[in-house]
């Protein structure tokens, strides 16, 4: 009898644990949906002057400045069709601050072509995004060939001699070369799936317990 009691305690401990974990994922799901909604709303807002704005992720901004084409960075990446090429990233001087301006994607054969450097420095409209830590599993940047895999801050300083804002500016517009990167609220949101997994485990254990209880008690 004692063992049956301990087994019951053991079973209901795990049922309770899985219910708590499932409930936590529901809380996280609601938080993530609210965050995605805020981002989508921000991306639809009219751009605000960078000089007057409180900088934050996914803020649409407008500004002007001086683009450094001599220290133009070619960052390997795929376009939206999965084709390999480069994202063109330039140092951008705005007042006394330095930013990195991601102007968009070009195919390999356009590297170094002057046609990709036609841009209106007096009318820059884009989206702010805080730079994430580089993926350490990617190949090392080849600074001598200007062939980049990550925007490693140490490499950028070696290449440009400058330090930059933690926020990148992703240029908006209808240019074809470079083709601006489409910025969306592309955030992983698997909390519903996780919640269903935990709740399913709780129900499964309960059903198994009831089955064995009916059979053996």
Alpha-carbon Rg for the chain in angstroms: 26
The tokens for 47 are 């751009």
The tokens for 15 are 């049922």
pTM of the model: 0.78
Residue partners of 120: CB distance under 8 A and separation at least 6:
none
The three-state secondary structure class of 161 is: coil
The pLDDT tens digits along the chain (217 residues) read 666 777 788 888 999 999 999 999 999 989 888 878 888 888 888 999 998 888 998 999 999 999 999 999 999 999 988 999 999 999 999 999 999 999 999 999 999 999 999 899 999 999 999 988 888 889 999 999 999 999 999 999 999 999 999 999 999 988 889 999 988 877 778 899 999 999 999 999 999 888 887 777 6
Q: Residue 124: its pLDDT value, please?
A: 95
Rounded CA-CA distance 143/20 in Å is: 50
Q: Residue 32: its pLDDT value, please?
A: 84
Q: Residue 12: its pLDDT value, please?
A: 87
The three-state secondary structure class of 97 is: strand
Roughly how many angstroms between the first and final C-alpha of the chain, as a whole number?
10
Task: Mark residue 112 as left, alpha or beta (left: phi above 0; alpha: psi -120 to 50; beta: remaining).
Answer: left
């Amino acid at each position: 009898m004692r063992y049956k009691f301990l087994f019951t305690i053991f079973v209901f401990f795990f049922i309770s644990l899985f219910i708590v974990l499932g409930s936590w994922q529901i809380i996280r799901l609601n938080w993530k949906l609210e965050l995605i909604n805020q981002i989508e709303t921000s991306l639809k807002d009219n751009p605000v002057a960078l000089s007057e704005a409180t900088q934050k992720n996914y803020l649409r901004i407008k500004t002007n400045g001086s683009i450094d084409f001599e220290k133009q960075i070619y960052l390997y990446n795929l376009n939206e069709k999965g084709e390999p090429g480069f994202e063109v990233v330039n140092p951008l001087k705005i007042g006394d601050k330095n930013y990195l301006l991601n102007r968009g994607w070009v195919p390999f054969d356009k590297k170094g072509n002057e046609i990709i450097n036609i841009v209106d420095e007096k009318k820059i409209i884009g989206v702010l995004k805080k730079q994430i830590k580089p993926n350490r599993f990617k190949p090392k940047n080849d600074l001598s060939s200007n062939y980049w895999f990550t925007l490693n801050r140490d490499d950028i300083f070696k290449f440009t001699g400058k330090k930059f804002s933690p926020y990148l500016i992703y240029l908006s517009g209808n240019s074809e070369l470079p083709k601006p990167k489409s910025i969306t609220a592309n955030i992983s949101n698997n909390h519903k799936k996780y919640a269903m997994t935990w709740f399913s485990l709780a129900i499964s254990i309960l059903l198994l317990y009831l089955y064995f209880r009916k059979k053996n008690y």
